[in-house]
Each structure stands twice: as C-alpha cells, then as structure tokens.
Amino acid sequence: MTIDDLTLDATQSIDIKADIGDVFRSVLHRFGEGFTKPPEGELMQMTLEQWPGGRWFRDRGNGIGHLWGHVQVIKPPVLPELSGPLFMSYPALNHIEVKLEQRPGGTHLDFRHRAVGFIDPAHRQGITTGWKHILDAVAQDCSARAAGQLAAYRRHRQVSVGVASL
C-alpha cells in the first residue's frame, strides 16, 4: 500500500446565484434533513446538530443508526466543517470543508473532502458523483427560493398597482 491508497483529497467548486446566507442555510439543510442519496434522491434520514461538537448522524429508526461525524467548525455564513467516519464503516477519518464567499451576482462555494485510512476503492470512485449531487441540490434549492421570491414580488407589485388604480 502507498500513501495515495490511504489518502483522499477531492475538491469541487460551484457558483450559485444567491445570497451567501441562503446558500449557507441550504448547505446545512442538505447535510442534515435534506440529505438524499444519488441518483434516485432517497432521503437518508440525516440529522445535523448545528453547533460546535454537534452530531451528524443517520437515524434509521428502531434504534438503528450511523454516526457520520461531528461539527468541527460552524461560522455562519462562510464556513461549516465536519469530521468523522462519514459513510466509511472501516478505519478512516474524514474532514469536510465548505467555504462560501459572497461575490457579485451570487456566492462561490468551495467544497473539499479529505480522508485518511483504508479507503474502499468504490467509495473513492463514488465521492465525486455523490458530493456533486449534494452541491447541485444546494444550487437548485437557492434557484427555487429565488424564483419563489421573484414570483411573490411580482404578485405584490400587481396587487399594489391594482390598488393604486382603484
């Protein structure tokens, strides 16, 4: 075994046309109760306790569950970090970092997943697709929220214009 067999360092970036606070809230939602399994989108029954030391776990009911990790850092609205075994039920330690930066026209999100341990080749291959699924869901959440806000604004304007013309 080489050091490359025992380590993982994956990064992804995405630009989202939304306020940094909305993106941060969507990230926390998608890591918690909104966490879905790709590609079918099945809910994973995840809980993310949103404070330092908070647990990140999967509750399957009837006393069955999996500890994925703990909140290492939470710094609204720019940085959540999580560490723990995640989905790896073998000797491994993972660190997830999500850095957010407000930019003109939206928010830039940098995602990094690092791990050390006896990493299963199937997990190594699947993480890029899996995390992309989560990041795309964050972007979709923010787009849907923005579209809903725009529609509400337009309805409000129509009512205001209609009342003004009475």
Residues 93-113 have a mean pLDDT of: 98
The reported pLDDT for the residue numbered 73 is: 98
The reported pLDDT for the residue numbered 102 is: 98
Residues 37-48 have a mean pLDDT of: 89
Q: How many whole angstroms separate alpha carbon 121 and alpha carbon 140?
A: 30
Q: How many whole angstroms separate alpha carbon 118 and alpha carbon 91?
A: 6
The reported pLDDT for the residue numbered 23 is: 98
Q: If we measure between CA atoms, which residue out of 64, 40, 49, 30 comes closest to residue 145?
A: 30
Q: In Å, what is the CA distance from 13 to each residue of 17, 60, 83, 93, 139?
A: 13, 31, 20, 22, 11
- Where does the pLDDT of residue 159 fall: very low under 50, low under 70, confident under 90, or very high at 90 and above? low
Query: For the segment 116-139, what is each residue's pLDDT rounded down to a tens digit?
Result: 999 999 999 999 999 999 999 999
Query: For the segment 7-20, what is each residue's pLDDT rounded down to a tens digit?
Result: 999 999 999 999 99
The reported pLDDT for the residue numbered 147 is: 74
In order, the DSSP letters of 37-52 are ETTTTEE--EEE--ST
Whether residue 54 contacts residue 68, with contact meaning beta carbons closer than 8 Å, is answered with no
- Where does the pLDDT of residue 156 fall: very low under 50, low under 70, confident under 90, or very high at 90 and above? low
The reported pLDDT for the residue numbered 41 is: 81
Whether residue 3 contacts residue 52, with contact meaning beta carbons closer than 8 Å, is answered with no
Burial 34-65 (b: 16+ CB within 10 A, else e): bbeeeeeeeebebbbeeeeebebbeeeeeeee
Peptide bond into 77 cis (omega under 30): yes
Q: How many whole angstroms separate alpha carbon 88 and alpha carbon 154?
A: 47
pLDDT over 60 (residue 160): no
Query: For the segment 51-99, what is each residue's pLDDT rounded down to a tens digit?
Result: 999 999 999 999 999 999 999 999 999 999 999 999 999 999 999 999 9
The reported pLDDT for the residue numbered 38 is: 82
The reported pLDDT for the residue numbered 162 is: 57
